[in-house]
């Protein structure tokens, strides 16, 4: 871990100055901490303010950036005004990141900074992430990945450094709860946010409510199943989600996992590969 941390700092020192895409999650927070230590005033942290992320996340990001004494800018983004994004194709994240990195490029150019950085780690390569293509188009670098950090490494290092976000639950854009092909609307995003807030009130931290029409599919850590089903808590969950318009409320027995909305697409691709192999 010490070697990876030292390597991360070396990479940043070589860059001399950079704009950092800072979401407030543990990955980008660790990156920002390292950059603040090494580069000081020669960085600008930029956080996107969007309908696709909970407002509380912006507040926490501001507090952490302030604690490090770094320059922090809030960037207003409007993903839903883009038909490419709102239509919610499997390339949705590409269009989102393309807009974000395009604006970060403008900030970097205005500052005279040659680098744009994000908080991606090695584990992010395991899932379908079309946003990586947009990162490549704008030359965005991922120092955590370059230094060999996995997600577990990030959390371990953040804990070692006593960062308040070290055990913060993973967060993803609210649009990731919606199946590809289902149009993304502000109303739908608010419904999903309200459903997840309802579960967090019960003390559940890592939560996803996947939206399948009139069905809410709940993903939580398997260790939290007993907590959800204890006494009459599950009845409160069902009642709360039904008031939001859901007819059916289901608990996914596989538990929380990143990218579960991509699983159907992976099966389709596997079947297509099988058909091609048979033809060959």
Asked if the 2-160 domain carries CATH number 3.40.50.620, the reply is yes
Per-residue pLDDT of the chain (280 residues; tens, 9 = 90+): 889 999 999 999 999 999 999 999 999 999 999 999 999 999 999 999 988 988 888 999 999 999 999 999 999 988 899 999 999 999 999 999 999 999 999 999 999 999 999 999 999 888 788 888 999 999 999 999 999 999 999 999 999 999 999 999 888 899 999 999 999 999 999 999 999 999 999 889 899 999 999 999 999 999 999 999 988 899 999 999 999 999 999 999 999 998 788 886 655 444 444 444 444 5
Phi (first) and psi of residue 46, to 5 degrees:
-125, 125
The encoded tokens of residue 249 equal 């409320």
Q: Distance between CA 53 and CA 194 in Å, rounded?
A: 12
Looking at the chain, the domain(s) classified CATH 3.40.50.620 span 2-160
pLDDT reported for residue 269: 47
Closest CA relative to residue 8, chosen from 124, 147, 117: 147
The encoded tokens of residue 110 equal 């205005």
Cα maximum dimension of the chain:
60
Sign of the CA dihedral running 220, 260, 62, 27: positive
Phi (first) and psi of residue 164, to 5 degrees:
-65, -15
Helix ranges (H only) for the chain are 2-15, 26-39, 55-68, 83-86, 92-111, 131-137, 143-146, 151-160, 186-200, 225-229, 233-243, 263-279
DSSP state of 18: E
pTM of the entire structure?
Answer: 0.87
Strand pairing category for 207-212 and 215-220: antiparallel
Looking at the chain, the domain(s) classified CATH 3.30.70 span 174-263
Q: Does residue 131 contact residue 100 with C-beta atoms inside 8 Å?
A: no
Asked if the 174-263 domain carries CATH number 3.30.70, the reply is yes
């Amino acid at each position: 871990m010490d070697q990876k941390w030292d390597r991360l700092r070396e990479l940043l020192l070589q860059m001399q100055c950079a704009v950092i895409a800072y979401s407030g999650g543990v990955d980008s927070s660790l990156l920002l901490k390292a950059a603040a230590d090494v580069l000081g005033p020669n960085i600008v942290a930029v956080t996107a303010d969007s309908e696709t992320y909970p407002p509380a996340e912006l507040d926490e990001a501001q507090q952490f950036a302030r604690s490090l004494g770094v320059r922090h800018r809030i960037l207003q983004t409007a993903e839903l005004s883009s038909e490419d994004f709102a239509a919610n194709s499997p390339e949705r994240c590409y269009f989102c990141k393309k807009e974000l990195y395009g604006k970060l490029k403008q900030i970097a150019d205005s500052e005279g900074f040659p680098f744009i950085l994000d908080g991606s780690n090695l584990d992010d390569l395991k899932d379908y992430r079309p946003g990586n293509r947009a990162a490549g188009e704008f030359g965005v670098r991922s120092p955590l990945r370059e230094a060999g950090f996995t997600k577990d490494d990030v959390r371990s290092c953040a804990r070692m450094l006593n960062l308040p976000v070290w055990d913060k639950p993973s967060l993803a854009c609210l649009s990731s709860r919606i199946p590809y092909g289902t149009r993304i609307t502000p109303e739908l995003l608010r419904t999903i946010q309200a459903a997840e807030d309802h579960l967090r009130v019960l003390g559940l931290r890592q939560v996803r409510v996947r939206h399948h029409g009139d069905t809410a599919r709940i993903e939580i850590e398997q260790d939290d199943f007993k907590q959800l089903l204890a006494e009459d808590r599950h009845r409160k969950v069902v009642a709360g989600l039904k008031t939001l318009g859901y007819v059916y409320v289901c608990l996914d027995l596989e538990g929380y996992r990143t990218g579960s909305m991509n699983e159907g697409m992976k099966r389709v691709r596997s079947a297509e590969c099988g058909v091609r192999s048979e033809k060959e």
